[in-house]
Structure 1
């Protein structure tokens, strides 16, 4: 253990003592007739040969052991140590000695020297923390011993809890650095987890969009196929309906003759026709071939008609007129009602002709002549 003995005092320091009165006059210490500076009776330089270190030589110095009473702060008082034989010992000098002793080998102890109180100004002492609240110091004041405790008990206690949250303190965390490190790692893990979750969400979104696009593509293809099938079915149904309609019409319509040959069609130009073009459809057949009613109707006229020869006009219910010309004979009379397939006359060569044939004309209700072949085909007849 190091000693906190004060540094040795200077041997050249003296405290003078005077044997003369401090009265002015001849023969006195400060009189004008005095032959020396300070008096006649000087055994040394400053008085009677007295040395401070001689008075202190017989004093024994021992180690000082601070106690609870000696280190307790004194509030409101400023104590100054008394001078001993001319040497002023203040709390400052004592503090320097304590610091030197602690730095050299630890805190020294003194068994016999009375404790010296260390005081601080109120402005400082009032702001200092309670010594008992400091980690590792409270045991000194409570009288507890660290002999039975692990050496790391005091060292493990942190000097400060700055940076430690209440939750961490409740969990037993005492190291602010470790707590900060744990929070940084936790934050890094949370950020990494958030990044992974975001990447996973992006992948899932992309996969969902791809699946949706594929499903839409398949749905569009299926819908297009269904639409094509529906369109095809509609067209087929339309054709069937038209065929059925024509079949029904064909059942009520028939060709005017059989075993024929088409020799002239509607609209052909030529000088042999008075109008300059052919106004009907010619069915060439042997004379006497039966001519049948194309559809049910009423005989509007029957007789000879100039260049048409013997002609029969059949008026249908919608007002359409069918002219049968160049007949060799007529088998019906005016006003007679006929049905489809009834014989109304015979093929001949009367009128303006070059050979036996049936000249068929079709006139609308307003009297306009139209193409007989197109009219017959529109009613399901094949010419």
Structure 2
């Protein structure tokens, strides 16, 4: 059986009192004896040999080694790893400041305040935030978010207000345009009405003036056959004039100043007198019982030119009046022509 190897002498011995409160007696140390046996050193076939570790050995060894190094450095500032090797110099920072800080933290049994609101960092703070006195990054972020939300809301409100103002402007423009159109339409209607009234007034004045220079061909009459009536009584198949039925001998007068261009017998028209106006219009006075003028004679409005009779193709005494513009063979409606001169038969 193998015997234990004697412990190697060390270049230092632990002090009774070491830094950080570690203390060992002269015969005490963090070392532990290892007593190998035949079973513990026998090789294992077919698998890798794994050294049996005793519970807590590695952790304790590491702790002991670290404490030993610190103790050695604290004692002489120099440690020797093994006999025959050069010593290694190890430099450590001054631990007095660390010890002082630790003692200050736990002095008088005071505990660090819990739930402190003091910000742990100034990350995220801008120059503007610092200038405004903000030191909390979270509060600064919250303020920027609120400012952005407010800006967006203001933009939305501005857009809504602008849209409402635009719609109101369009509505006002449309209303103003409609009012202008209505006013223009009313003005045009009033103007048209005024023009029509002025025109009617002028026409009435003109007809009144003409009426003074025109007169009906006879009086005490009754209108019987009118222009355009169809019947077998007329050789043309329709009536070509306007008949004024009146007793025989009723005076026939000149409608307007004119020249006598015919005066005598005219077949189916009986005794007929033709007056030619200055514009060339011919007025035929037919079925007279007598004629009072001669060809070439000038007559004025209202002058007597003959008397009502029943000569020619007639059924009774009457004055047959025809109007031939420009001396045309075909006449026009005498009623319309007389009305155009301000006369109402």
Residue 333 of structure 2 aligns with which residue? 371
Question: Of the candidates 80, 83, 90, which is equivalent to residue 79 of structure 2?
Answer: 83
- Counterpart Cα distance in 2 of 1:167 and 1:98: 41
Q: 1:98·1:107 contact (CA, 8 Å) conserved in 2?
A: no
Question: Of the candidates 237, 243, 255, which is equivalent to residue 204 of structure 2?
Answer: 243
Q: 1:312: Cα distance to partner? A: 1.0
Q: Provide closer, same or farther for how the CA distance between residues 45 and 296 of structure 1 changes in structure 2, counting only shifts above 3 A.
A: same
- Please identify which structure carries the higher helix content: 2
Q: 1:59: Cα distance to partner? A: 7.3
Q: 1:315: Cα distance to partner? A: 0.5
Matched, 1:318 2:279: yes
Q: 1:189: Cα distance to partner? A: 1.1
Question: Of the candidates 178, 186, 189, which is equivalent to residue 150 of structure 2?
Answer: 189
Question: Of the candidates 298, 302, 309, which is equivalent to residue 348 of structure 1?
Answer: 309
Q: 1:307·1:352 contact (CA, 8 Å) conserved in 2?
A: yes
Q: Deviations over 1:201-245 (max 9, x none)?
A: 222333333333333343333333333333333333333233233
Matched, 1:203 2:203: no
Q: 1:282·1:358 contact (CA, 8 Å) conserved in 2?
A: yes
- Counterpart Cα distance in 2 of 1:107 and 1:269: 140
Mapping 1:138-217, distance limit 5 Å:
161-217=122-178
Q: Aligned to 1:303, what secondary structure does the other structure show?
A: strand
Q: Deviations over 1:123-159 (max 9, x none)?
A: xxxxxxxxxxxxxxxxxxxxxxxxxxxxxxxx99977
Q: Provide closer, same or farther for how the CA distance between residues 184 and 269 of structure 1 changes in structure 2, counting only shifts above 3 A.
A: closer
Q: 1:299: Cα distance to partner? A: 0.9
Mapping 1:247-262, distance limit 5 Å:
247-262=208-223
Residue 275 of structure 1 aligns with which residue? 236
Q: 2:292·2:304 contact (CA, 8 Å) conserved in 1?
A: yes
Q: 1:161: Cα distance to partner? A: 5.0
> Normalising to structure 2: TM-score of the pair?
0.66
Q: 2:261·2:274 contact (CA, 8 Å) conserved in 1?
A: yes
Aligned-residue CA RMSD in angstroms?
Answer: 3.8
Structure 1 gap ranges (5+): 1-36, 38-43, 64-80, 109-154
Q: 1:185: Cα distance to partner? A: 1.3
- Counterpart Cα distance in 2 of 1:373 and 1:60: 154
Q: 1:270·1:277 contact (CA, 8 Å) conserved in 2?
A: yes
Q: 1:62: Cα distance to partner? A: 8.5
Residue 229 of structure 1 aligns with which residue? 190
- Counterpart Cα distance in 2 of 1:323 and 1:302: 10
Question: Of the candidates 15, 35, 42, which is equivalent to residue 57 of structure 1?
Answer: 15
Q: Aligned to 1:355, what secondary structure does the other structure show?
A: coil
Structure 2 gap ranges (5+): 22-76, 107-115
Q: Aligned to 2:158, what secondary structure does the other structure show?
A: helix
Q: 2:11·2:80 contact (CA, 8 Å) conserved in 1?
A: no
- Counterpart Cα distance in 2 of 1:321 and 1:272: 24
Mapping 1:70-149, distance limit 5 Å:
82-83=78-79, 90-91=90-91, 105=103
- Counterpart Cα distance in 2 of 1:102 and 1:344: 158
Q: 1:300: Cα distance to partner? A: 0.7
